[in-house]
Structure 1
Amino acid sequence: MAYAIQWLRSLVYIIMVYVSIAVVGIVLFPWALVSRRGARVACMSVCRFVRWAAPWMIGLKTEIRGTPPDYECIVASKHQSFLDVFMVFSAVPAGKFIMKRILMYSPIVGQYGLRIGCIPVDRGKRSVAIKQMVDGVKKGTATPGQLIIYPQGTRIAPGVKAPYKVGTAVLYEQLNQPCVPVAANVGLFWPKRGIYRKQGTAVVEFLEPIPPGLPRDQFLSLLEERIETASNRLNEEAGFHAPH
């Protein structure tokens, strides 16, 4: 019975999240079209609603630890579900993502993404996309801020091992910006798929920045070590122990 009640609460919450995206997206769309600030206010409003509603609707608290960067940098985040997207974006002042080009054609999400400075990429053409983005930043055409990227490329469930892709290292090398690793345990409570959301405290933690200038292999190794070590610690803190 308790599971069924929590499942229903989760369903209502998810519906409310999508309703908030639609309502905020439509109401603030005219402002977003003429002002990047309008687009960012809309995106931040949705993120804050997601975090505000979660404790009383589904019993899920969200906690951000560490010091989110307020300077230009790469934010390399553990990615376990959509919840970490909302949490990381809400924690930084000028976040932007690398997004799939197909999302550009979405009437709301795509336009907001472009307005806040996200960089559309063709799936399977990551090397081309990285070059275009690096060129854009160097020419001053890209929107300044914190570039949020997922080093493993997709959502990875807690306890599952997946390689860290070279794209993050190429960006780090060519942009010559510090990289802020981010650990998370949110997948324990908000899974990659399904309706059910668990009660508890989902955490994302901003870790010590990696300064620019390290060799590519050394950077990737350090990035993986910091994110995985901290994420495992957060998982264990929540009562999860990865199988050996």
Structure 2
Amino acid sequence: MRTKRGIILVLFLLVIGFLLLSLQLEEHYLWISFGFIICTILIVVIRFEQRPLEAREIVLLAILAAIASLGRIPFASIPSVQPTTFIIMMSGIVFGAESGFMIGLVAALASNMILGQGPWTPWQMAAWGLVGLSAGLLRNTPFLKYKWGKILFSICWGFLFGWIMNLWGLLAGAGSGVPLDIKTILAYYSASALFDTMHAVSNVFFLLVFGNTWVKLLTRFKRKYGLLQS
């Protein structure tokens, strides 16, 4: 058990390493993104090492990631409004932290194949991966058992996602000679406040309208076909 936890910790540290490496090797963002995916797949495999990870379970994760990524496209013209965060959150709540993390990473990489890849891709992957990871870690707590908790969680990640992407912008700018001082940081985060608010509001909207349906649907698949059981 300790060995398994140690390996998972090393893989998470590698993910963080890839994230920091993306600031120095911006032109290699695609390779860094694939490194994210490989580490996350290994985490999921190790998590379920007591029984084989079936092909249908991998297919389910791929389908959910595809739905989350395609959800960005119809809303591409409306900044920060999309159902991707909601879908990743619901997946993490039903299937757990590791699965939610991988769905978030793949969704960001896949959707950017259409909307545009760039040095921001690994950071989007990390941000959406953390949505699924945190939802999975908190899924059995009273916080996410009630609708008010899910609403608060959705609002928080509407802003946290933007703040993580702002951090990438600031660090990337600092590498190009832009001064990283309090004035710059406040101006950067203030400029994104409207978009972060729109993201939070859209998360709550999708949760209130589709939340119960998604949880029931995914839970039914999980129980009926025995998918991704701990």
- What's the TM-score, normalizing by structure 1? 0.42
Higher helix share: 2
Higher strand share: 1
- What's the TM-score, normalizing by structure 2? 0.44
Higher relative contact order (CA 8 A, sep 6+): 1
